[in-house]
Structure formats: structure tokens, C-alpha cells
Amino acid sequence: MQKRLFTIALLAAALVVYFSPELMAQAAVQLYPPHWFTDMKWNKVQILAYAPNNGAFNQQQVTLKHRGVTLDKVHQLENGKYLALDLTITPDAQPGKVSILFTPKKGRALSMEWQLLPKLQGGGKDYAQGVTAEDFVYLLMPDRFSNGDTKNDRIAGMRDQSLDRDSIFLRHGGDLQGVINHLDYLQNLGVTALWMTPPLENDMPNRTEHGYACTNHYKIDPRLGGNDAYKKLSDALHQRGMKLIQDAVYNHMGSFHFTFIDLPTQDWVHQWDTYTNTTYKDQPLFDPYHADIDRKKMLEGWFVPTMPDLNQNNPYVANFLIQHALWCVQEFGLDGFRIDTYPYNDLNFMNRCNQALLNEYPNITMFGETWVHGMLNQAYFVENNLNIPFKSNLPGVTDFQTNLYGITKAVNEPFGWTEGVNKLYVTLSNDYVYKDPMRNVIFLDNHDKTRFFTEVGENLNKHKMGLAWLLTCRGIPQMYYGTEVLMAGSTWPFDGYVRLDFPGGWQGDKVNAFTRQGLSPNQTDVLDYVTALANFRKKSSAIKTGKMMQYVPQDGLYVYFRYDEQQTVMCIMNTSTQTKEVNFADYAQRTAGFSQAISISNKPQAYNMSAPISLDSYQMLVLELKR
């Protein structure tokens, strides 16, 4: 009898919670953004109110009550289930619950509470710090890095219930707790900033491991741990003096996003009579001879059939996206953004979005993915010195030119007048097109490209040469997870092969890179090499903020310097198949006055600069010069 009464009490309590007015209101009307913040420069906030089960919702009257918050205008959207509410939040507004009343022509009014929270303090110091050439960025895919909480491997009700580590296409269970668990590893490696593929909810039926098809902008994917886990990760990073970069996707969303399933307006996404894919050709954006249809297809065509292309010329869409970016900085304490598929966005919208972030957070930085071919093509999308009509305000880009035509050609292609390492030299010589090339992000590989170790034919010396270049060249270095332990894989025939699990991220893994259990001697050697170089870089003023000087390559031998008044670092790269002799006196402009060179590696060595040194084929030396 006592057990039965206890069960009845539990059921009664559950019913009270289930039918509570607050939860019922939340189910009836959804508000985006779900809350805002005091003391923001962006104080003209537009709430998108959505009533999924009320086709006459846009006929309701709306009133609002909170000191310092006014309701300026109510927009009746084309779809009767939506309203857009324009609010002004004055400087004297206090944190608290904003009461919003929705009153239909007939029936009972619905009262909702919308929170106004205090703005985070310390912006530019504790968060929104920006990511600069003083940082070393580590890119990972949460689903493939480490499974820290097996309870969220599958979430009931989500469309993708897959979980199979033997498949490169299905979910593997990695999450944000797994990342938190291994911050010691990243910090010891020399990493100062973390960039992850998008953590937002990706409630698609399949291929949800990568995160690029968002279905709810204001919800972190529960399979990664949800909003609380993301905040916990941000706090843990900042406590260590590290930074958090969010992968922003403005161009498209997932086809199961609520605003696509139930369009607020018909032009919320770009519509075509028949499905039209983007051409992936950036040239029509700046080509003086372009055809209008080519430009339209590039900008308004869909990236893939499951990713509808957002119409950023629709003012409601623009507000939705910009406010989301600002909200994320506040909500999660972000330090910067990597912007996906940058050339496919409306570039005037991107200038507006970038400026809104910079107005609010002057130190924050953004770098855009510009997978294009040619220095001028890439420079078009970033702050540049070009005399052209469109002027971008994007601070930096992912530098595909030093990747595609630079380091990969340098280590793989025989030397020639325009071949091999000369391509890296020429590419860097064109840096005059950028306002600040130090803000560009350089890399060897990423989640869309063949892994560098595979790119160099699993040649250990070439791999280490690439890593040495990455950690000494101008710009912001970004390393893809597992590069430090020789993870291999090609995008052909499937991109999943470059997104394999980090060894040791799952209980029972026979190889564990975090503890070094089971690593081969070569893996350990490269891990030590990266650790030595990256931690030297942390303290190197010459590399982080200094100037660069490069010499014309000679028969495969390429020499460049990073230097300032306090320090000189000499980098010697032998891309020849033959051993090369290096005379320090040949580089007297930078070597004069120095007598000793100390190699920076896990096996340091001192060199007397009065004598030549020999450098084996595909070897690179990073030397700190001493007087």
C-alpha cells in the first residue's frame, strides 16, 4: 500500500510539472534568441516568436513589460505561425524576467517570460580575446576525438541513432567531456586555442558526425553534452589561459531545421524552380566579365541538397544570424570565429555581421574558409590592399594558398624555376596584397583535406619538415588532430578516412596517444618534436610577433628568418634529394654578429656559425641564433 501511494505521488508530481503554465507556454511558443543581455551595444533585438501549432499566431496582439525594455514593432510574417518582435533595451535596463503577453482575438492570453541576463564581464581579457599569431590552434571533431560520457552516445528522439566506430560515416560517440578530459594533453603539446567543427544541434537523419547541418542554432547537440558541457569546456579552457574558437556556418543550415521545415517567409532560403547546386566557382564574384547567372548560382545555389541556402538579404534572416553570433559570444565566452564557406555568403551581409561582432568585442577575431585558387582570389575576401570596389572587413582567412601552392608543393615537387619550394617562396612573396598576412591561418591539413602524412607519402622527414614550417612561418598555425601522432588518411574515395578516431579517446583502445601507450617510435618522435617546437614558439617573440625575411631558394635549399630586436630564428629547409652545405655567411644580413646556433627540437644541437653545416635531404633546421 505504501509503495502504491508513493507511485501515485510521483505521478501526480510529474503531471504538475508537465502541465505547469511555464512549460506549456514554452511548448506553445518558442522565442529566438531565448534570452538577451544587458549593457550590449546591440540593444535593438529582434525576437523570432514561433508557435508551431497555431496558424493564426501572427494575428495576436503583443504587449511587453519590463523596466528599460520597450516593444517598438510587431512584424506579422508571411507564415501565420511566426511573429518578429522589435525590442529596444536601454542602458538602465536591469537583469530579470521580461513579461511578454500574447493575446488572440478569441481565447485566453498567453504569458511568457523572456530573460534579460547580465553581460559577461572581462570581455577582451577573459573571453572575446581574439586569436592571433601568438596562438597555436588545434582543430578537432568532437565525435572523433574522445568519448568522455557514454550516457549521451545516443539521445532518444533524435533522428540519427547510429553508433558504430567501425563505420566512417556513423557517429562514434566522442563528446565535449572527452575534450575536457584531455586539456592537459593539449596544453602540454603547446596548444593555446581550440577550434572544433560546429557543436550546434545537428538533428539530421544521417552523417551528423561533422556538425555542419545545424537544426537549432540555440542548442548545443545533446550527444556532445549540450549547452552546459560547452560552457564547462569554455570555462576550463579560460582557466588555463587558452581560447575557444567557434565554427560559424552562416551560408546554410540542415534541411531538418525548424525554419526550413516551416518557413517563416518563402524567401527565408534561396528558392529555385528546380534544385540548383552552387557552382563552387568564386571567380564570378569579382570577374569583370562574369555572367549574372554564374554569380547567382555561386551565391544562391545550395551547397548540397540537404543544406538549404539561407537568404541573407532577407532582413529577418540577417538579424537571426547576427544575433546568434553575438549571443554565442556572451553565452559561451567565445574568443573568435572560423567562418565556414566564406565566399558562398552574401559578402555585404558578412561585412555587417563581422562589424557587429567587432563593435561589441573589439578584440575578437574571425577567419574565413576561402578554399579558392590564386592569391588575388583569396585576397578579395579579406582586408586587402587591392584597388577594387568591394572592400572586405574580414581580418583573416584560412590560407589555402600557402597550403595548396606552398608547403605541399615544396615537399613533394622537384625543384625548378617555378616548381617545388619556389612555389612556397613565390606565394609568400605576394603577401603585399593583404593588410596583415599575420592574421591568416596557415595549416597542413584539415577535416576536408587529405592528411599531410598521407600527402607526403608517409615520409617521416617530409612530415616533420611540414610541421617545422607550420610552427615558424608567418601567420596563425593550425594543426589538425592526430597530425602529431602520424594519423593518415585520404579524402579519396570518402572524406571519412580523414576523420578517424584519435587513438586513446575510447576506453579499451590498444593505442593511447594521450598516455603514449602503444605508440611507435616514429609516432613518439613526432609527438616530441611538435611539443618542443610549439612550446618554444610560445615564448618566441620573433615567431609570434616578429618580422619575416626569406631568401631566394637555391637548388632546393630555402632559408627564411623570423626576427625582432630581442631574438633571431633561422629556418633552413632542404627540399632537395641531395645533402646540402649551408654557409651562415651567405645570409649575412641576418646572421652577422651571431656566433652560435641552437637547434630547436626534441634533440637539440649547437652549431658553430663560423663553419658550414650539412643538411640531409628533406631535413629542416629551426635555429635560435646566439651572439
Return the active site residues. Answer: 340, 369
Residue 179 CA to residue 144 CA, distance in Å, equals 10
Distances (CA, A) of 220 to 176, 209, 359: 10, 13, 26
Cβ pair 60, 83 in contact under 8 A:
yes
CB-facing half-sphere around the CA of 167: CA atoms within 13 A: 12
**Helix segments in 30-121, DSSP class H:** none
Select from 545, 437, 484 the least CA-distant residue to 138: 484
DSSP at 495:
G
For residue 82, list its beta bridge partners. Answer: 50
- The cell numbers describing 267, all together, are 524567401
Instruction: Give Rg (Cα) of the chain.
Output: 27
- E strands along 12-168, which residues? 30-32, 35-37, 44-50, 61-65, 69-76, 82-89, 96-103, 110-117, 137-140
- CB neighbour list of residue 229: distance below 8 Å, 6 or more residues apart: 149, 175, 176, 177, 180, 220
- Ramachandran angles phi, psi of 559, nearest 5°: -125, 130
Select from 534, 465, 549, 552 the least CA-distant residue to 189: 534
DSSP string, 136-201: -EEEE-HHHH--S-GGGSS-TT-S-----TT-SSS-----HHHHHHTHHHHHHHT--EEEES--EE
- The cell numbers describing 129, all together, are 580575446
Residue 159 CA to residue 69 CA, distance in Å, equals 39
**Amino acid in the structure at residue 106:** K
Residues for the chain: how many in total? 627
Q: Which strands form 35-37's sheet, in the order they lie side by side? A: 35-37, 110-117, 96-103, 61-65
